[in-house]
Amino acid sequence: MGQMIELTSSDGFKLGAYRAEPAGKPRGGLVLVQEIFGVNNHIRKTADGYAADGYLVVAPSFFDRAQRALDLGYTQADIETGRAASQKLAWDDTVRDAQAAYDLVKSAGKSAVIGYCWGGTLAWLSASRISGLACAICYYGGAIPNMMNEQPQCPVLFHWGEKDHAISLEAVRKIEAAHPSALSHVYPAGHGFNCEERGSYEPGSAKLARERTLELLRKRVG
């Protein structure tokens, strides 16, 4: 099981983070980026899962800059709370916080970033703005279509849902055309298909996407 720690960003801001360690020597590091629901039960379980696969995982509480220790469920009220918090954040600050997490996990060796939903967008930004990442994995990042001009410095893997209400297939195809070297997979699922606590959970797609993620991590991180 993991524990809560504190990270200090380059501007001096202190934020919480969930740290999960593997049983033996780490294969490498992984910065895990939350959805809009904070570092909740699902995110902690996801971090524990990747730690069990051999990685040192840190999941920062990115929304601490808007609201401390946000830990939400999936009701409409929770969605509105999470959205409101996300809108108070500046991407430059969140990249700074991701950098602080990367600086910690890279003690374990080569390191990657993986993000879901809101975090998928931050994983995409991290790929272009954080030097030294081994790879970035982006699950259905809603703002990526508005950030197609970013130029990733590392291999990128995209996971999309073909029934995603927030990201059209047309937008996905444009991203693929703009970044042909990225790996991109579309699943017969909707937004949030990886989260077993959401109504949009699609177990077959979640399993396949995780297998593909681990394949890239084994290749690029260790």
Q: Output the CA torsion sign for 50, 51, 54, 55.
A: positive
d(CA 175, CA 156): 12
d(CA 130, CA 102): 9
CB atoms near residue 87 (< 10 Å): 9
Structural tokens at position 166? 């927030």
**Residue 7 near residue 60, CB atoms below 8 Å:** yes
Q: What is the CA radius of gyration of the chain?
A: 16
d(CA 62, CA 67): 9
Phi, psi of 101 (to 5 degrees): -70, -40
For the annotated catalytic residues, the residue numbers are 117, 164, 191
Place of tokens 């290749």: 219
Residues contacting 126, CB < 8 A, separation 6+: 31, 33, 95, 98, 102, 113, 115, 133, 136
**Residue 154 near residue 131, CB atoms below 8 Å:** no
